[in-house]
Chains A and B, each alone.
Chain A
Amino acid sequence: MARAVWKGPFVDSYVLKKAEKSRESGRNEVIKIWSRRSTILPQFVGLTFGVYNGHKHIPVNVSEEMIGQKFGEYAPSRTYTGHAADKKAKRK
Chain B
Amino acid sequence: MSGDDRVVVGAIAGAFGVRGEVRLKSFCAEAEAIADYAPLTTQDGGRSFDVTLTGNAANGLTARLSGIDTKEQADALKGVQLYAPRDRLPSLPDDEFYHADLIGLEVMDTGGQSLGHVRAVMNHGATDLLEVHAPGRRATVLLPFTLEAVPTVDLAAGRLVADPPEGLFDDE
Query: Which residues of A approach B to under 8 Å, CB–CB?
Result: 27-30, 32, 48, 50, 56, 58-63, 66, 73-76, 79, 81-92
CB of B97 within 8 A of CB of A89, answer yes
Mask: chain B, 128-147; 1 = CB below 8 Å from A; 0 = not? 11010000000100111111
Interchain CB contact under 8 A, A61 and B126: yes
CB distance from A61 to the nearest CB of B (A): 5
CB<8 Å pairs between A and B, sample of 6: A28-B166, A74-B124, A75-B124, A79-B122, A88-B97, A90-B96
Interface of B (DSSP majority class): mixed
Contact, CB under 8 Å: B168 / A30 = yes
The contact size tier of chain B is 35 or more
**Cβ–Cβ contact A85 & B8, under 8 A:** yes
Among A58, A60, A62, A91, max chain B CB count under 10 A is at: A91
The minimal Cβ–Cβ distance linking A70 to chain B, given in whole angstroms, is 11
Given known A-B contacts A59-B142, A61-B146, A84-B121, A30 and B89 have beta carbons under 8 A apart: no
Is B103 among interface residues, defined by CB-CB distance under 8 A?
yes
Which residues of chain A are within 8 angstroms of B102 by Cβ–Cβ distance? Answer: 89
Given contacts A48-B144, A59-B144, A90-B96, contact A85 B129 (CB under 8 A): no
A74–B142 alpha-carbon span in the complex (Å) = 13
Q: How far does the Cβ of B94 sit from chain A's closest Cβ, in whole Å?
A: 9
Q: Is there an interface contact between B145 and A86, defined as CB atoms closer than 8 Å? A: no
When A84-B103, A86-B28 are in contact, do A74 and B125 touch as well, CB less than 8 Å? yes
Contact in complex: B122, A74 (CB < 8 Å):
no
